[in-house]
Chain A
Amino acid sequence: MAINWFKYSAPSTFYWLAGKLAPWFAWPSAVLFAVGLYIGFFVAPTDAQQSEAYRIIFLHVPASIMSMFIYLVMACYAAVGLIFNTRLSSMMASALAPTGALFAFISLWTGALWGKPMWGTWWVWDARLTSELILLFLYFGFIALHASIDDPRRADRASALLAIIGSVNVPIIYFSVKWWNTLHQGSTVKFTGTSMHAAMQQAMFTVLVACWFYAIAVALARVRSIILERERNTQWVAELPEARS
């Protein structure tokens, strides 16, 4: 049976699909958040060195991972939109940007709250903190450029180019800042021989998946609004039950 993969690359059909899919990501996300945070706060043992304050890791690390991952996904969507001239990819890219910026902000915020009891300061000019801050600036640049161009197609293409340049630059920025100064503790999550307790790992990965599902659900909901806004003069939008009322 041949499946028409391109059917849902049209905004009019994807609008319907996104509406159907969004709850399927939103509810599991809520459940996983509850489970992950429960394990994190009540099941996971107290850390030997950092006592209770370490528990912020269960939000901090997933948020940091998601902020970087979403930038990459956004740049990929933007590149596809630029190369194949597909409208929906560009809409997905601009739907992901605010969520990515939010995760970058949460990561910085929880990092500051964690840094105060551990290092004694809210902020240090360390490689990871600084590159996370620059990542937030890159998100702001993307959103600001998109917002200041009136023609949506030109906005899509210009910000796509910016996202691609940004994703090329992120490793350069990361290593330049890393050689400049490093204080942040080494990676806690290693793929071989991790130093973490099993319950801590479970909590962290559960919250990570919850964040991932949340990002998908929110991006789908946001892309529906973007589709409606861009296609407001078309026939199919006028025929939607929610548009008629």
Chain B
Amino acid sequence: MNPKPDNKNRLSLFGLLGLVISRDLMLAMRRRADVLTTLIFFVMVVSLFPLGVGPEVDMLRKMAPGVVWVAALLSSMLSLNRMFSADYIDGTLEQMLLAPQSMSVLVLGKILAHWMLSGLPLMLMAPVLGLQFDMSGQALWVLVVSLLLGTPILSMVGAVGAALTLGLRGGGVLVSLLVLPLCIPVLIFGTGAVEAVTSGMEIASHLSLLGALLVLAFAFTPWVTAMALRISME
């Protein structure tokens, strides 16, 4: 009756990506507390540092990029468990694996949604925290740009760890143990860019390297995550 393939019901890759992202965002909006907890954790960790090391402005200004970056790293670890666990428990993830569409694209959608819920708020919050540390306007801009380039990498590498530790005992601590060492280059180049601008040096090299890492992660991690999910689900 219908020899031609039914194109109306076929999803394009971008359509699929949009669907996954909007679904994850909608789910997160139904439970806003989860997203806010991560953000509050970030603010709290950053605010603890001046209390721990003393209120001298010169020292605070110097350590600000490192503190903000390490706090961003930790709070993105905190939210990694949420990326797949709810879908794993209610069986959605199994249906996704069975779907005819590419698993890598599905995973990429989930990673992007995770970044919008964890990385993006951190990035928007960072300048306010930077002001607490008396950072200059220029340094704040570089901090935001480095976070914009770096936090997606944290979500992407974190996705691999989250997929590998899916449904394990003590998965939360384990995922940090696996992912944090792999995130060290991001930390180095992210803080390096901010330190370079405060000491009047060239920042393009740091940001280019961050960009290169982002492209590399973008190319490989969705595919590796899909593979890790297959291993965890079989």
A positions within 8 Å CB-CB of B:
134, 137-138, 140-141, 144-145, 148-149, 154, 157-158, 161-162, 165-166, 169, 172-173, 176-177, 179-180
Contact B178 A141 (CB under 8 A): yes
Q: Report yes or no: B185 in contact with A176, Cβ–Cβ below 8 A.
A: yes
Count chain B residues whose beta carbon lies closer than 8 angstroms to a beta carbon of A: 25
Interface string of B190-215 (1 = CB under 8 A from A): 00100000000000000001000100
Are B177 and A149 neighbours in the complex by a CB distance under 8 Å? no
Choose the segment among B55-63, B106-114, B130-138, B162-170 that binds chain A (4+ C-beta atoms closer than 8 Å).
B162-170
State the B residues within 8 Å of A (CB): 160, 164-165, 168-170, 174, 177-178, 180-182, 184-185, 188-189, 192, 209, 213, 224, 227-228, 231-232, 234
- Tell me the interface secondary structure of chain A in the complex: helix
Can you identify 30 A-B contacts, CB atoms within 8 angstroms?
Answer: A134-B184, A137-B177, A137-B181, A141-B177, A141-B181, A144-B177, A144-B178, A145-B164, A149-B168, A154-B232, A154-B234, A158-B164, A158-B228, A158-B231, A158-B232, A161-B164, A161-B224, A161-B227, A162-B164, A162-B178, A165-B160, A166-B182, A169-B182, A173-B181, A173-B184, A176-B184, A176-B189, A179-B188, A180-B188, A180-B192
Is there an interface contact between B188 and A177, defined as CB atoms closer than 8 Å?
A: yes
**Which of B165, B169, B209, B224 is in CB contact (< 8 Å) with A165?**
B224
- B231 x A172 contact (CB < 8 A): no
Chain B residue with minimal CB distance to A174? B185
B71 to chain A, nearest CB (A): 20
Residues of A within 8 A of B160 (CB): 161, 165
Return A245 CB to nearest CB of chain B, in Å: 36
A148-B165, A172-B185, A173-B181 known, 19 other contacts, Cβ within 8 Å: A134-B181, A134-B184, A137-B177, A137-B181, A138-B181, A145-B164, A145-B165, A148-B170, A149-B168, A154-B231, A157-B231, A158-B228, A158-B232, A161-B228, A161-B231, A165-B224, A176-B184, A176-B189, A179-B188
